[in-house]
Structure 1
Amino acid sequence: MDDRTGTATEVWHGLRALVLERHDRRKQVSEALGMSFNRIKALRRIAAQPHTLRSLAEYMVIDAPYATLIVDDLAKRGLVERTANPADRRSKLVHITPRGKAAADEANRILDTPPEPLLALPPEDLAALDRIVNRLLD
């Protein structure tokens, strides 16, 4: 392994530890909303735009029966509803309800809250990190 690959690997390990271990918001958002993170992930996706069960399953990389189970639970909670799909009468579209939109907004608020160590960085470090992250996302 060359120096560049080794350094990139170490940076990747650090980023994973930062986001997925030390400051993982999934548990916090699950506890706040009283449901699994998979249900929250589906809810946030449906809040962004209506989905068929098939498109939701594809996005979440799950099988259709599990997507149905998730949507059934969200519907029982009053967070989503199914309506006829005008583009395909054989399928239904899953839409967010006002209660579901509020829950998705709360999930986004929790997930988007930066961890304290990030907030504590000096402005020039934040600017450099922002520049690097945007470059990685391009």
Structure 2
Amino acid sequence: MNPGSDNASATRAWTEMVAFITGQDRLRALRLELDLGVGKAELLIKLARAPMTLREIAQAAEVDPSAATVAVDRLERRGLVRRQPHPEDKRRRLVHLTDAGLRAAEAARRILTDPPPALAALDRADIAALTRIFAALNAAPPAGSA
């Protein structure tokens, strides 16, 4: 532990940070606005960057190919994606977003990445301090690794 800190202060900071983050309820917003869970929302965001094969989707989502197929089937039934032949290999299919899928991907990106109003309202110095602190925390090795 850093000589300038104490465990009680670190515990309080951690408790406040977790309360703030979990209080944002992004999962509920995804369900209410898009009727999607995080996994499918993240898939739409990835597909907004470029179409993907089912194998690429399975690898990106770290799921088995059958789970990727089920997820794409559900999104396809909702009109958010469509499968098209791969231009270089007709045996494979590429999953593309529909116009509705593009709108849903943008809404999901906004829900998952836009800062909450309370954070955005902080002054520049406070935001810069938080950015510096979290960058340092993210650069630290995970607990228990040596």
**TM bucket, shorter chain:** 0.7 to 0.9
- What do the CA deviations read for 1:8-57 (whole angstroms, capped 9, x no partner)? x85777655543x2224122112211133222121111111111111111
Which residue does 1:127 correspond to in 2?
128
- What do the CA deviations read for 1:101-127 (whole angstroms, capped 9, x no partner)? 011111112223312331232221112
- Alpha-carbon RMSD across the aligned residues, in angstroms, is 2.6
Structure 1: tracts of 5 or more residues without a match: none
Equivalent position amino acid for 1:28 in 2: A
Q: Which moved more, 1:119-128 or 1:91-100?
A: 119-128
Which residue does 1:35 correspond to in 2?
36
Tell me the SS of whatever aligns to 1:82: strand
Partners of 1:62 and 1:16 in 2: CA distance: 28
Paired residue total: 133
Q: State the TM-score, normalizing by the size of structure 1.
A: 0.78
Equivalent position amino acid for 1:26 in 2: L
Partners of 2:85 and 2:2 in 1: CA distance: 56
Partners of 1:14 and 1:48 in 2: CA distance: 35
Which residue does 2:54 correspond to in 1?
53
User: What percentage of aligned pairs have identical amino acids?
Assistant: 36
Partners of 1:31 and 1:62 in 2: CA distance: 25
Partners of 1:107 and 1:45 in 2: CA distance: 11
Q: Which moved more, 1:107-116 or 1:93-102?
A: 107-116
Which residue does 1:118 correspond to in 2?
119
Which residue does 2:142 correspond to in 1?
none
Which residue does 1:77 correspond to in 2?
78
Equivalent position amino acid for 2:89 in 1: D
- What do the CA deviations read for 1:77-132 (whole angstroms, capped 9, x no partner)? 11111111123332111011111101111111222331233123222111222344
Q: Which moved more, 1:127-136 or 1:90-99?
A: 127-136
